[in-house]
């Protein structure tokens, strides 16, 4: 739409606004694809293992997808910057759908793992494409209007994913957990193809930074494997984990060196010279750390300690998700009307820290109402942070770097989630096993600190009470650490500088310091969008 807005008469503003909303709707459908997939498939995994076998490779069904998504994210962002976003985005949707179809057709666990990697490769481009295209179409000040929609999609995915996954698996079979992506994907493809019109981009003469891409992929892969395997598949001090840490560190050091020499670096290091961009990367990492840790341990606490069913534990997350959606919508509207945003990361970080420390106080006597209040506080904090981090990061770079800025911010959030699940998970598991051993119930958690409802019901009363206490204690330490990490986000937010959002003021009015991106011709043009 950006090309239309330069020449369209003033009286056509409302039809253009509607056309932008149609494009954003199509993008949200694509975003829903990426978010729903893991949640739906997670519900179907027991049935998949029962059909295909290969229980020992179960974790790789998720790990292959996560690895491919994380490793490809920066590459998709750079390709969009270099060759144009629409074609690259459509390609990522097609790859995701091909991976979905192949996964549904898998005949054994090894095939499923390979096809999930293809699916993850496409998913890496979905989130980045959505964020970068919105960054192209909508100037930062106006972007707040769409924050509520993004938060709503996230809430729908988190609540609906497990419910839809269970219903599909029970009535249609596990293969439809993958085939269900097809109708959504086809609708997204058709809508994006028909209504998304971006200015034609001149093909760059520079070659893709293949060496940088390879080093970054190896580095990210090593990091994700360390956080996935550490403390579960292998001991943290084992040779495999130490070798992966060394490989990851060496690859990332090599990547930084290569990026200083490349003509078109995968992640241009100059974007980190901008203070606001670097600070938002830190806040995004912490938000990912906290968000996915909370989504993992809250349902476990509700099932093991508060006696909720698997389905109800998902619904009991509603206070957090609804608070996140409402606050995100309000923050977006205020940002649009005032052009101010610095207060939101600060307030969001304070609420996030407060919510986590409140959740750390939960014990076997905590009621669902009380835990719901605590979750709402955390959700409100996340609502202030989830979209503002991307907004400020995108506002901190030139439009030519919109893709790499979006991909870098997304990557930091993804890595944060990996570290959050790994660190909080290791602390939780260790505490549960220690508490059970101290109470003579260690045999119940010999293989896993997480018992399902069926296993829990079979335990003697005394052992079950011991397990409930152990889970409560494990949850306490996990959220206590999460709250401590969240303080880092608060410190980072305090140093954010209020730089006028593009579209609010003329270029010459922006402060001339390292937090304001240089105003290129593309940046000036964006202010008329």
pLDDT of residue 31: 81
CATH of the domain at 448: 1.20.1250.20
Same domain, 11 and 81: yes
Same domain, 155 and 281: no
Same domain, 24 and 106: yes
Same domain, 358 and 442: yes
Domain count, the chain: 3
Specify the range with the lowest mean pLDDT, choosing from 16-25, 234-243, 365-374, 469-478: 16-25
Q: Is residue 168 part of a domain?
A: yes
Same domain, 49 and 83: yes
Return d(Cα 253, Cα 273) in angstroms, integer.
18
Q: Does position 347 have pLDDT exceeding 90, yes or no?
A: yes
* Chain segment 92-118, per-residue pLDDT in tens: 999 999 999 999 898 888 888 899 989
Return d(Cα 315, Cα 34) in angstroms, integer.
21
Same domain, 153 and 8: yes
* Chain segment 430-441, per-residue pLDDT in tens: 788 788 777 665
Q: Is residue 22 part of a domain?
A: yes
Q: Does position 524 have pLDDT exceeding 50, yes or no?
A: no
Say which residues have a Cβ less than 8 Å from residue 127's Cβ, sequence separation at least 6.
31, 34, 73, 410
- Cβ–Cβ under 8 Å, residues 165 and 42: yes
Instruction: Say how many C-beta atoms besides its own lie within 10 A of residue 190's C-beta.
Output: 11
Q: Is residue 514 part of a domain?
A: yes
Same domain, 249 and 141: no
Same domain, 242 and 337: no
- Cβ–Cβ under 8 Å, residues 135 and 408: no
Same domain, 154 and 253: no
Residue 502 pLDDT grade (very low, low, confident, very high; cuts 50, 70, 90):
low
Same domain, 354 and 472: yes
Write out 208-264 in H/E/C secondary structure: CCHHHHHHHHHHHHHHHHHHHHECCCECCCCHHHHHHHHHHHHHHHHHHHHHCCCCC
Domain boundary among 182, 207, 232: 207
**What's the whole-number mean pLDDT along residues 66-77?**
86
Rounded to whole angstroms, what are the CA distances from 512 to 499, 507, 509, 516, 519?
Answer: 10, 10, 9, 7, 10
Tell me the β-bridge partners of 234: 230
**Whole domain around residue 79: which residue ranges?**
1-207
Same domain, 172 and 215: no
Q: Does position 10 have pLDDT exceeding 60, yes or no?
A: no
Return d(Cα 397, Cα 501) in angstroms, integer.
11
Q: Is residue 268 part of a domain?
A: no
Residue with tokens 């976003």: 85
pLDDT of residue 92: 92
User: To the nearest whole number, what is the mean pLDDT of the chain?
Assistant: 78
Same domain, 161 and 285: no
Rounded to whole angstroms, what are the CA distances from 73 to 10, 355, 395?
Answer: 38, 30, 20
**What's the whole-number mean pLDDT along residues 269-292?**
89
């Amino acid at each position: 739409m950006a090309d239309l807005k330069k020449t369209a008469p003033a009286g056509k503003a409302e039809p253009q606004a509607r056309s932008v909303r149609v494009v954003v709707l199509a993008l949200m459908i694509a975003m829903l694809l990426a978010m729903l997939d893991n949640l739906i498939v997670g519900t179907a995994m027991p049935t998949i293992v029962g059909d295909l076998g290969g229980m020992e490779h179960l974790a790789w069904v998720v790990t292959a997808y996560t690895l491919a998504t994380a490793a490809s994210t920066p590459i998709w962002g750079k390709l969009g910057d270099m060759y144009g976003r629409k074609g690259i985005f459509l390609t990522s949707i097609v790859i995701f759908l091909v991976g979905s179809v192949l996964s549904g057709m898998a005949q054994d666990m090894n095939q499923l793992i390979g096809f999930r990697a293809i699916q993850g490769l496409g998913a890496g481009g979905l989130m980045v494409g959505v964020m970068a295209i919105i960054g192209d179409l909508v100037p930062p000040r106006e972007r707040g209007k769409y924050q509520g929609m993004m938060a709503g999609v996230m809430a729908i995915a988190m609540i609906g994913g497990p419910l839809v996954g269970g219903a599909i698996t029970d009535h249609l079979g596990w293969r439809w957990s993958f085939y269900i992506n097809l109708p959504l994907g086809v609708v997204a493809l058709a809508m994006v193809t028909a209504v998304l019109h971006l200015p034609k981009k001149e093909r760059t003469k520079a070659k893709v930074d293949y060496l940088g891409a390879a080093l970054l992929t190896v580095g990210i892969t090593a990091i994700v494997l360390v956080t996935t395997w550490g403390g579960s598949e292998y001991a943290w001090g084992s040779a495999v984990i130490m070798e992966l840490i060394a490989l990851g560190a060496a690859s990332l050091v090599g990547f930084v060196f290569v990026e200083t020499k490349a003509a078109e670096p995968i992640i241009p290091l100059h974007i980190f010279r901008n203070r606001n961009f670097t600070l938002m990367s830190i806040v995004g990492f912490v938000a990912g750390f906290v968000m996915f840790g909370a989504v993992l341990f809250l349902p476990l606490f509700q099932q093991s300690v508060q006696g909720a069913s698997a389905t109800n534990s998902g619904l009991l997350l509603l206070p957090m998700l609804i608070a996140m959606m409402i606050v995100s919508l309000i923050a977006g509207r205020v940002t649009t009307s005032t052009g101010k945003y610095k207060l939101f990361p600060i307030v969001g970080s304070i609420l996030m820290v407060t919510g986590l420390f409140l959740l750390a106080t939960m014990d076997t006597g905590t009621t669902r109402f009380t835990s719901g209040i605590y979750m709402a506080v955390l959700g409100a904090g996340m609502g202030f942070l989830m979209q503002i981090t991307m907004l400020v990061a995108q506002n901190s770079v030139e439009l030519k770097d919109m893709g790499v800025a979006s991909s870098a911010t997304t990557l930091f959030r993804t890595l944060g989630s990996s570290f959050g699940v790994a660190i909080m998970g290791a602390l939780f598991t260790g505490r549960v096993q220690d508490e059970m051993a101290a109470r003579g119930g260690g045999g119940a958690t010999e293989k896993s600190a997480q018992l399902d409802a069926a296993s829990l019901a079979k335990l003697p009363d005394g052992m079950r009470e011991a397990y409930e206490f152990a889970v409560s204690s494990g949850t306490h330490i996990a959220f206590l650490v999460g709250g401590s990490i969240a303080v880092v986000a608060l410190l980072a937010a305090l140093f954010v500088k209020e730089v006028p959002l593009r579209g609010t003021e003329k270029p010459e009015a922006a402060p001339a310091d390292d937090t304001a991106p240089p105003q290129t011709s593309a940046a000036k043009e964006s202010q008329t969008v």
